[in-house]
Amino acid sequence: MPDLAHDLSIFRLVVDSGGFSGAARTLNVSHSTVSRRVRALEADLGFTLLNRTSRTMSLTDAGAIALDSGKQVAVTLDTLRSRLDELRGGVTGVLRVSSVVHLGPPLVQPAIESFLDEHPTAQVALALDDGPLDFTRRGLDVAVRVGLLVEGHLVATKLMDNAVCIVATPDLLRRTGHPRHPAELQHMPAVVYRSPDYDISTWAYREGDEVHTVSVEGRVTVDDGRTLLELVLAGLGVGYLPRTVAHPYLDDGRLVDLFPERELPDFEPVYMLRTPGTEPPLKVRAFERHLRERAAQLPASPR
């Protein structure tokens, strides 16, 4: 079975893509080539792996076992490559990274730049999105997320705290006036983050030892952290933003911190996620170091 590992990887891609056509597009090969490799895999294993009709496709019991084993084979091969890279004394291959959108520019992209400067033979495939993580299906090596509302089997390493600030443009404040207390925000237009996992339309602030909240009216709601920032910068409303995202615009005057002396409860921390294992691959360990170094440069806390 000289092509078993290769055929297993194609089979996994067929399942993950929802069919032969999607796998063929991803691999940039013909539909018939993909179909031929899956048939060869079935012949090698002696089982039918997929129930096929003209419109549907589903796994057989043997197919489910093969899919799970294929994932394990992929992990084993990645580990082998990583250990051989260590023998060579360098990081090579593709590092697959996912990050929430708003942490791309301040955290992840600078870390990628320094990582590639240090390891010129490495490559990075970066996906920026705020949707479900789906770490295993996407074949990720590293993910950067806020909080731990993700697959529980992953190993999470805290990168930084996540202080927040309430901001607006000078132009918006000229039109609405500068609020003196957070409770006044309920009467101001706001840009609100809302997704299937989060609805951040209730903003928290402290009064002495107590935490209070104010519910804001979302003039615009958005499920993308980067677009939220752009809408706030356009003056469409007040924003409740991570300080890591807002600080360049506070520094250059495009945004104003509405309550700089008031303590606001942090968002959940920022974490790096990876697959479990006693020792992550060299490329993951190297990239984690660059993420930590970049995170240490960011204003995780206003004080």
First to last CA, the chain: 61
Compute the half-sphere exposure of residue 205: CA atoms within 13 Å on the CB side of its CA: 17
CA separation for the pair 184, 204 (Å, rounded): 13
Residue 73 domain-assigned?
Answer: yes
211 with 203: CB under 8 angstroms?
no
Question: Does residue 110 sit in the same domain as residue 56?
Answer: no
pLDDT (0 to 100) of residue 78: 66
Task: Give me the sign of the Cα torsion angle 262, 165, 131, 104.
Answer: negative
pLDDT (0 to 100) of residue 303: 39
| pLDDT tens track for 164-215 | 999 999 999 999 999 999 999 999 999 999 988 778 999 999 988 899 999 9
Question: Does residue 130 sit in the same domain as residue 188?
Answer: no
Question: Does residue 129 sit in the same domain as residue 204?
Answer: no
If one counts the domains in the chain, the total is 3
Residue 302 domain-assigned?
Answer: no
Whichever domain contains 65, its CATH number is 1.10.10.10
Residue 209 domain-assigned?
Answer: yes
Residue 176 domain-assigned?
Answer: yes
DSSP symbols for 46-72: TS--EEE-SS-EEE-HHHHHHHHHHHH
Residue 267 domain-assigned?
Answer: no
CA separation for the pair 302, 162 (Å, rounded): 10
Task: Give me the sign of the Cα torsion angle 266, 268, 273, 275.
Answer: positive
DSSP symbols for 117-144: HH-TTEEEEEEE-SS---TTTTT-SEEE
Question: Does residue 213 sit in the same domain as residue 235?
Answer: yes
Q: Which domain holds residue 123?
A: 95-153+276-297
Question: Does residue 60 sit in the same domain as residue 112?
Answer: no
CA separation for the pair 54, 298 (Å, rounded): 53
Residue 10 domain-assigned?
Answer: yes
Question: Does residue 112 sit in the same domain as residue 179?
Answer: no
Residue 240 domain-assigned?
Answer: yes
CA separation for the pair 139, 16 (Å, rounded): 10
Nearest CA to 46 out of 66, 32, 71 is that of 66
Question: Does residue 182 sit in the same domain as residue 217?
Answer: yes
265 with 143: CB under 8 angstroms?
no
The pTM is what? 0.68
Question: Does residue 44 sit in the same domain as residue 185?
Answer: no
| pLDDT tens track for 51-107 | 987 778 889 999 889 888 887 777 677 667 666 665 666 787 899 999 999 999 999
Question: Does residue 64 sit in the same domain as residue 24?
Answer: yes
Length of the chain: 303
Whichever domain contains 137, its CATH number is 3.40.190.10
Question: Does residue 168 sit in the same domain as residue 149?
Answer: no
Residue 290 domain-assigned?
Answer: yes
